[in-house]
Structure 1
Amino acid sequence: MISGTEIKEFRNLRGVSLRDVAKALKDTDKSLSAQFIGQIENEQKSMNEDNYKKIILGINLAFAKKTLGNKTEDNEDSGVNEDGE
């Protein structure tokens, strides 16, 4: 399992905020607060395997939402629908 600092680096590489991650998790049954995730990243709280999986899931969901959201906005601006037509 990676450290809290490494999770923070991964989240930053994905370009998502703590709030983005917490919001993505809120839409699932695996909710964690932005404050708690930040405490894990700063190694103020210990992380167990369950929280690790939740945080990684949240980062990936937030990144997907951000990426798909930008793609949809780009398509609307260009007059292209989601099928590329």
Structure 2
Amino acid sequence: MQRVAVFRRQVIFKEWEHKLYKANIAYLKYMLDAIEKCKVSMEFLNILRNWEKVKTERQKYMGGAIERVIEQKIAAFKKNIDRV
């Protein structure tokens, strides 16, 4: 009797697992459809194709921008000190 009950629970669990996988497959198909319908501009495609190059250029730009901001803050601070 206990073996039958355990077997039944295992069957119910497998049926539930099957429904879960079926729902996941349906969701992934829906997402794939949505992605396939998206249009991507040529500019964005070029960025994706040359991502490493774009990333290094961006880092160089950001590094320069941070240094400029620091220099501006130092200059403003010095100006305030000179006034006093």
TM-score, length of structure 2 as denominator length: 0.37
Larger RCO (alpha carbons 8 Å, 6+ apart): 1
Larger Rg: 2
Structure with a larger share of its residues in helix: 2
